[in-house]
Amino acid sequence: MASSKQGTVNVNARTRSMGRSSTEILKASYPANPVGVETPLVDDGTISSDLATNFSELCLDGTISDDGHTFGEFNLDFADAPAYDAVETGGGGLPASAWVPNPVSPGPGSQNPADVGDPPEGFGEEPSDTWGTGVGSQLSPAESSAQQSTTKLGDYGLGSSPYSN
Provide the 3-class DSSP secondary structure of residue 144.
helix
Return d(Cα 38, Cα 34) in angstroms, integer: 9
Residue 141 has a pLDDT of 87
Residue 115 has a pLDDT of 95
DSSP element (H, E) containing 35 = none
Return d(Cα 66, Cα 73) in angstroms, integer: 7
Residue 123 has a pLDDT of 94
Identify any residues that bridge with 64 across adjacent strands, giving them in sequence order: 74
DSSP element (H, E) containing 14 = none
Alpha carbon 22 to its chain centroid, in Å, reads 30
Residue 130 has a pLDDT of 72
Contact 73, 62 (CB under 8 A): no
Contact 148, 60 (CB under 8 A): no
Residue 152 has a pLDDT of 76
**Over the chain (165 residues), what is each successive 10-residue block's mean pLDDT?**
54 70 80 61 56 75 83 84 90 93 93 94 85 73 84 73 61
Return d(Cα 135, Cα 146) in angstroms, integer: 15
